[in-house]
Amino acid sequence: MVALTTERPQGDARAAFELASADDSIGEEASAAPLYEAAMRLGLEPSLRRQASIQLASTLRNLGRADEGLALLHAERLQASDDLDDALAVFESLLLADLGREREGLSRALGAMAGHLPRYRRSVTNYAKALLTTAVGFSDDDLFLFARDGAPELPDTTDRGHITHDGARIWYASHGTGPAVVLLHGGLGHAGNWGYQVPALLAAGYRTVAIDSRGHGRSTRDDRPYSYELMAGDVLAVLDHLSIDRAAFVGWSDGACIALVLADMAPERATGVMFFACNVDDTGTLPFVGTPVIDRCFSRHGKDYAALSATPDDFGPFVEAVGAMQRSQPNYGAADLATLSRPFTIVQAEFEEFIRPEHARYLTATIPSAKLVTLPGVSHFAPLQRPATFNAAVLEFLKAQN
């Protein structure tokens, strides 16, 4: 092999890769690793780069450097998909197991296997996602898994369906018993985006009510423009249908706007509001800057809309209609905020893409009985990125309400 590689130009990436592979095959991982790294640094051709990444990650695992191998494959799976996707997932699962993240590793392996099991693809995919709801240390910071698979499905319940209210059919799902927690999703999403939160809340003894906002998910709408007031009215109608007098509201992005309106228009129905990643006026938002994470979330929203909506071909008009609401609402001034009587927990992510951090501080200073919580290491999509971090904040908020 050395003789053959000498026929290639000095500093040739392919030669370094072949030498690394040869050393790897005879158990010389210590010499193989730097050769793989050199091959990739020298500009290995795309058709071999993913192969080199997988082999280097495996080599690093054998050298006791599983964390480095996992980081390498994590970056690699964000690249273009190819016929080595499943191999990459299998080696990721081994590295995760070595790092004590067995459930996450098993989930990766099952997810790769599902595509080869047409009869059982859906059930195996769901099992893979369900494992993540209790996986220690699980993260999906880049939303790769969310874009590919969506959030874990909500648990089964017989207490789900539609109510008819104010020109729309509103879908809800109620789980468990105990103090009620209403989960209000973000714009363009749906109740299923809380798939990592519902099991954690049920385990802690709460009753959850997840609602598809008007025009989102399985809920319909009429011809009126979207408004947070209309959506808040829908939430109250669901609570009336379920005979729930009071609840804690956990709102994410647009869902936080709905929770704000609920606490204003019907404070007697709210034990408190967790207000995550939202503004109350047009000074609270950052200039929009697209990112791959935002693109992946948007892509998943489009797929879910097509799968769930009564108007599956209208995602474009839906996006524009929701955007028109977001650009013009809400409009709460300082005097309005000062009248809010329910406890608020204002939650801001460390890497929030849409809401100014000073806006969160302003809300905390202006709303009576408000406190500020900052979530480290996550962005606007924290409930999906690091569920354990977000769930801990939710449970701390609920503890204070009860």
Q: Are residues 96 and 131 in the same domain?
A: yes
pLDDT 10s digits, 193-218: 999 999 999 999 999 999 999 999 99
- Residue with the bigger pLDDT between 135 and 323: it is 323
pTM of the model: 0.89
List helix spans (H) across 180-242: 198-203, 228-241
Q: Is the pLDDT of residue 136 over 80?
A: no
- The answer as to whether 310 is a domain residue is yes
**115 vs 281, residue with greater confidence:** 281
Residue whose entry in the numeric block shows the structure tokens 């130009």: 9
Claim to verify: residue 115 and residue 170 sit in the same structural domain: no
Three-state DSSP at 50 gives helix
Please report whether residue 351 resides in a domain: yes
Whether residue 195 contacts residue 383, with contact meaning beta carbons closer than 8 Å, is answered with no
Q: What is the mean pLDDT of residues 155-160?
A: 96
pLDDT (tens digit, 9 = 90+) per residue, 211-245?
999 999 999 999 999 999 999 999 999 999 999 99
Strand partners, 207: 180
In a domain, 148, yes or no: no
Pair 192, 113 in one domain: no
**Residue 9's pLDDT band (cuts 50, 70, 90):** low
pLDDT at residue 262 greater than cutoff 50? yes
Looking at residue 7, its pLDDT comes to 53
Is residue 273 domain-shared with residue 307, that is, in the same domain? yes
CB 213 within 8 A of CB 231: yes
133, 198: one domain: no
Could you tell me if 123 and 170 lie in one domain? Answer: no
Domain boundary among 108, 142, 176: 142
Where is the domain boundary, 96, 113, 142? 142
pLDDT attached to residue 312: 97
Q: Quickly tell me which residue has 């709408």 as its tokens.
A: 221
Residue of 239, 247, 274, 262 lying closest to 391 (CA atoms): 274
Q: Are residues 136 and 229 in the same domain?
A: no
CATH (domain of 233): 3.40.50.1820
pLDDT band with cut points at 50, 70 and 90 for residue 402 = confident
For residue 39, give the CATH number of its domain: 1.25.40.10
- Say whether both 133 and 167 belong to one domain: no
Q: Residue 8's pLDDT is what?
A: 59
Which of the four pLDDT bands, split at 50, 70 and 90, describes residue 3?
very low
- Please indicate, yes or no, whether residues 372 and 290 belong to a single structural domain of this protein: yes
Residue 151 lies in a domain: no
Q: Would you say residue 152 lies in a domain?
A: no
Q: What's residue 10's pLDDT?
A: 67
200, 60: one domain = no
Q: For residue range 285-320, what is the model confidence (pLDDT) as tens digits?
A: 999 999 999 999 999 999 999 999 999 999 999 999
Residues 201 and 262 in one domain: yes
Average pLDDT over residues 136-147: 91
Q: Where are the beta strands (DSSP E) in 117-231?
A: 160-165, 168-175, 180-184, 207-211
Q: What is the pLDDT of residue 4?
A: 44
Percent of the chain at pLDDT > 70 equals 98
What would the pLDDT profile of 51-83 be if each residue is shown by its tens digit? Answer: 999 999 999 999 999 999 999 999 988 887 889
338 in a domain, yes or no?
yes
What tens digit of pLDDT does each residue of 346-386 get?
A: 999 999 999 999 999 999 999 999 999 999 999 999 999 99
pLDDT at 46: 84
Question: 165 and 136: one domain?
Answer: no
The tally of domains found in the chain comes to 2
Alpha-carbon distance of 308 to 294, in angstroms, equals 21
Please say if the pLDDT value at position 100 is more than 90: yes
The tokens of 57 are what?
Answer: 């990650």
Domain that includes residue 220, residue range: 160-401
Q: How many CB atoms lie within 10 A of CB 306?
A: 13
Residue 103 lies in a domain: yes
- Of 112, 142, 172, the residue at which a domain comes to its end is 142
Neighbouring CB atoms inside 10 A of 210's CB total: 28
User: What radius of gyration do the chain's Cα atoms show?
Assistant: 24
Rounded Cα gap, residues 274 and 264, in angstroms: 14
Q: Alpha helices, DSSP H only, in 183-314?
A: 198-203, 228-241, 254-265, 292-308
> In this structure, is residue 318 part of a structural domain?
yes
E strand map for 129-286: 160-165, 168-175, 180-184, 207-211, 247-252, 270-276
Its sign, for the CA torsion 190, 210, 205, 180, is: positive
